[in-house]
Structure 1
Amino acid sequence: MDAMPDEMSRGPERVPEGMDGAPDAALARLDGAARHLRTPCGAGEMAWRVWGGGGGIPLVLLHGGSGSWRHWARNVAALARGRMVVCPDLPGLGDSAMPPPAETPAPVAAVVRAGLDRVLGAGTPYHLCGFSFGALLSGHIAAEAGPALRSVTLVGAGALGLPRQITPLVKVRSETGEARIAAHRHNLASLMFADPARIDPLALAIQEANSQAARFRSRGFASSTSLKDAIARSRAPVALLYGERDAIAWPEIPSRFAALHAVQPEAWTGVIPGAGHWVAYEAAAGFNAMLADMLDRRFGG
């Protein structure tokens, strides 16, 4: 069965090249350029956005915890040159409904995997890239995927069975005005960015939009071995990327690479200098180039 199009929000097949200008307007342009689809999710629907086309193998991007498709705002245009880029809002986040009750990530990943079959068509080849909580779900999808999955790239991944540093976050929901912006800036500096000077108005706008819509809580999964156990069963090539100063991995990134290599000895690993956990935003140009090169040269397009 095909995915269910949201005809009221379907956009033209084009990808804006920049995210300059007022943040809300830039995000609206990017959103308006997407084709919007819906698939079943719990008692409601899961929201999908699709950009681009061309002859390359489609790339599926799964955002992080308490996030939405906006986590990829600085990546879509570059990555959609010559290929389709697919970004869902994960269950219980963004515009997507809550998933059925789940004690582990596996049932949530199953909802995403079923939706992906409807969006792309079962058996269509694709690459998968997941950030943070999206990396955890990517591992569970890879564990069950057939040959259609050509590669899986994990970005800023936890749940490898290793301890992580405490990242002190402040509550935002009760704050308003300048205090709310200050709370967002603190949390971005603590968890997401290596250099607080790079927290720009667009990052703050994304954080605000994501926070307002976040209902599903995924942080409890991060300290488990869930990703390591799942990705061990992947038959597709695996890559693991971190920003050099990722708050959940630094200073033990080599230990995380070793944990992955214990179950996927041929996995490719990489570090992007000077970036934090949200490496795809903070070091967008380097991230886009690294991922595109991997897809083209290492993973066959």
Structure 2
Amino acid sequence: MDLSQLEVFVAVVEERHFSRAASKLGRTQAAVSQTIKKLEGDLGAALLDRNSKGVIPTEAGRLLYDYARRLLDLRDETTQALRQLDTLTAGRLVIGANEQTVTYLLPWLERFIRMYPAVHVEVKRCRASDVPAEVLRHSVELGVISFAPPEAGLHALTIATDAVALVTAPHHPLAGCASVSIRELGQETFIAHNVVSRYRLQVVEAFARHRTPLRITVELPSIEAIKRMIEAGIGVSLLPRLCVAAEVARGQLAAVPVREMRLARKLRVIHRQPSSLSRAAQAFIALVRHPEPENTSPESTRPENT
């Protein structure tokens, strides 16, 4: 018994006549009759009563019809769902990122959602160091990180670069400087994220190389909280420029380059083999490969296989 046989059987029951069912299916009446005969033989039960007025299902036929109709409807629903996935009129995209990298993603996410409003997009918050493993475990389909993934089996596409800057309140004495030296920062009160990252370790090492104390007196769980504390004049921080671009443009914060701190951050989208990606993930990657949205500082995108 297969779906093609059930399709013939359902047509005969609904049309109540072999010839009308044959016409509906585009087959000969003999072919329809042969299919029903084989189906009855396979199941070991009479499915149709034939009389001068047409055919009606037997008790076994009525039972089979109910299941057959549901199976055919499910087939049609499955076909439609797959078609919607392929045309991006449905689907789901899960991206793994930490709080900082989400900021970079927002312009691209905005464009993607406008282009494919029927696709459900979820950004799963992860520690940056965990993102590659989440991608490999299929917990997320794409990941966004600011370092080259060490794990084998991942592909990376660089989509933007950013630099770390000293972020202060607008009225801070250093706010108007063209640049500052690490040695000028030994007496500053620093506010830091309470999740230790690769970039934070690089900052600590840079201060140590210049024999300058790094006075972290406040640690907070989010970039937004850090920005609000800086704005209130509680302290300063070293943050990626793009994380504070909007506040700097509005005059709420100032961003000053630190001369000895050339911590250029490359933002990368990472993924598994392209052939295993959903249509939604493929569309997102295609989007970030093309001219980038405003409010980013991307370099030319290129894949980096690791």
- Give the structure with the higher percent helix: 2
Higher relative contact order (CA 8 A, sep 6+): 2
Please give the TM-score of this superposition, normalised by the length of structure 1.
0.28
